[in-house]
């Protein structure tokens, strides 16, 4: 029956899966660049768009198939199929986003996700009702599950690789083709058999929807995926906002510099920029943090990292994050440069608290110690300096 599919709807199903993959991977790639409370929102958004993309692709593919004219879709199995997809995608992304993404962990997540995607497909197929029976070829069922697991593994690897630019586009297209391949592999092994006599199967009178209603639902979801795709193209202003102090001064001068107003003057290495004749600003011993009952102060010795959050920052003490009224530039200027290093436009870390450094994509990731260890991204331009500060490489002398 595969050769009877509508080629335009087949192409649309692949495009929908690719757009959903692009949006989901784009959100997932930001998780490691914006650690903290926002991780939950990003993880939920990534899982939601990937699940909607996979599920919508499945039903666009069903609309493309030459189904019997009296076919209806049982509502309960159709909803359950989406919940299965959303659940396994969310669990898999969460499982690989915590702890070390070892081969065993990624492979286990891929098996869970692949089996979940295949289960979503066959539960959705079970929702078809009409004057026919459905027969599946066991060999094609097994092959479709294998394709789903391989697809899941590739998708999780794309998530961990933090794809950007052309790599993100390629990963998304491959993901869309692979997910669609699983669906159409399963459809190739599915056959309709007319029921004899007056026997009609409409799900025992359960709530059902026609193909026209399903088409409307799928169209709405396509718009949702398209909107998410367009929003994912909007750059993160916090990641793109240039830091004037970084652009005009050396690392040592930046650490002692005043925020952007003073940075416009011509800098001199090892000289304070706070004003002519003024001594260098002494590092502060404590950082202010806000809470519901007022402003508290945290010793810099307890600070693990500082993360930019719009015009403010969030300070991690090894247990939790708390809001600090300083900007990331002001925090950099106030902290002791012998202990703290700006490793990313949006992140400062306490070098003595670094417990792990690992190459990841074009940059690296640092894990900081504490009761609740957390990770901080390192930009590619800062890798050499981080290694030098950790004693992993010798900095070249000018």
Q: Mean pLDDT over residues 377-397, rounded?
A: 80
pLDDT tens for each residue of 254-279: 444 444 444 334 344 444 444 444 55
**pLDDT at site 210:** 65
pLDDT tens for each residue of 19-71: 888 887 777 766 655 544 466 777 777 788 888 888 888 888 888 888 887 78
CA distance 224 to 244: 38
**pLDDT at site 352:** 93
**pLDDT at site 198:** 45
Q: Are residues 31 and 177 in the same domain?
A: yes
Is the predicted pLDDT of residue 342 greater than 90, yes or no? Answer: yes
Cβ atoms of 319 and 353 within 8 Å: the answer is no
* Minimum mean pLDDT range among 70-74, 100-104, 242-246, 346-350: 242-246
pLDDT tens for each residue of 82-118: 888 888 888 887 777 666 667 888 888 889 888 888 8
Q: Are residues 129 and 174 in the same domain?
A: yes
Q: Are residues 186 and 87 in the same domain?
A: yes
Q: Are residues 54 and 148 in the same domain?
A: yes
Residue 50 domain flag: yes
CA distance 193 to 71: 13
User: Is pTM beyond 0.75 here?
Assistant: no
**pLDDT at site 252:** 39
Cβ atoms of 215 and 67 within 8 Å: the answer is no
**pLDDT at site 348:** 94
**pLDDT at site 319:** 85
Residue 241 domain flag: no
Domain that holds residue 297: 248-267+282-389
**pLDDT at site 163:** 53
Q: Are residues 87 and 218 in the same domain?
A: yes
Per-residue b/e over 44-79, b at no fewer than 16 CB within 10 Å? ebbbbbbbbbbbbbbbbbbbbbebeeebbbbeebbe
Domain count, the chain: 2
pLDDT tens for each residue of 126-174: 888 877 788 888 898 899 889 888 877 877 776 666 555 666 777 778 7
Q: Are residues 263 and 221 in the same domain?
A: no
- CA proximity to 161, closest of 377, 362, 361, 378: 361
CATH label of the domain that carries residue 322: 2.40.50.1020
Could you tell me the pLDDT band of residue 5, with boundaries at 50, 70 and 90?
Answer: confident
Could you tell me the pLDDT band of residue 245, with boundaries at 50, 70 and 90?
Answer: very low
pLDDT tens for each residue of 192-228: 787 765 444 444 456 766 667 767 777 787 777 777 7
Residue 277 domain flag: no
Is the predicted pLDDT of residue 303 greater than 90, yes or no? Answer: yes
Q: Are residues 177 and 291 in the same domain?
A: no
pLDDT tens for each residue of 351-379: 999 999 988 877 889 999 988 888 899 98
């Amino acid at each position: 029956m595969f050769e009877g599919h509508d080629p335009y709807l087949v192409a649309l199903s692949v495009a929908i899966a690719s757009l959903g993959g692009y949006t989901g991977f784009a959100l997932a790639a930001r998780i490691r660049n914006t650690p903290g409370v926002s991780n939950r929102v990003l993880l939920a958004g990534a899982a939601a768009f990937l699940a909607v993309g996979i599920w919508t692709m499945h039903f666009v593919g069903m609309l493309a198939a030459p189904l019997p004219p009296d076919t209806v879709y049982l509502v309960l199995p159709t909803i359950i199929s989406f919940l299965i997809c959303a659940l396994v995608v969310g669990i898999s992304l969460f499982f690989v986003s915590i702890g070390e993404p070892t081969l065993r962990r990624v492979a286990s997540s891929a098996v869970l996700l692949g089996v979940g995607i295949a289960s979503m497909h066959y539960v959705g197929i079970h929702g078809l009702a009409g004057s026919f029976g459905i027969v599946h070829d066991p060999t094609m069922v097994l092959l479709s599950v294998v394709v789903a697991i391989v697809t899941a593994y590739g998708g999780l690897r794309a998530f961990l690789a933090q794809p950007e630019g052309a790599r993100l586009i390629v990963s998304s297209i491959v993901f869309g083709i692979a997910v669609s391949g699983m669906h159409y592999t399963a459809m190739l092994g599915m056959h309709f058999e007319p029921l004899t006599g007056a026997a009609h199967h409409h799900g025992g009178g359960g709530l059902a929807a026609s193909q026209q209603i399903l088409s409307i639902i799928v169209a709405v979801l396509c718009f949702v995926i398209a909107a998410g795709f367009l929003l994912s193209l909007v750059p993160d202003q916090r990641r793109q906002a240039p830091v004037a102090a970084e652009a005009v001064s050396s690392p040592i001068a930046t650490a002692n510099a005043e925020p952007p107003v003073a940075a416009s003057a011509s800098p001199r290495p090892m000289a304070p920029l706070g004003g002519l004749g003024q001594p260098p600003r002494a590092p502060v011993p404590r950082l202010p943090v806000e809470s519901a009952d007022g402003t508290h102060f945290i010793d810099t010795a307890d600070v693990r990292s500082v993360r930019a959050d719009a015009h403010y920052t969030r300070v991690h003490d090894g247990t939790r994050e708390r809001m600090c009224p300083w900007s990331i530039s002001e925090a950099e200027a106030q902290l002791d440069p012998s202990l703290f290093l700006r490793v990313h436009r949006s992140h400062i870390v306490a070098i003595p608290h670094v417990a792990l450094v690992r190459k990841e994509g074009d940059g690296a990731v640092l894990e900081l110690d504490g009761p609740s260890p957390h990770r901080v991204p390192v930009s590619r331009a800062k890798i050499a300096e981080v290694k030098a500060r950790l004693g992993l490489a010798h900095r070249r002398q000018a």
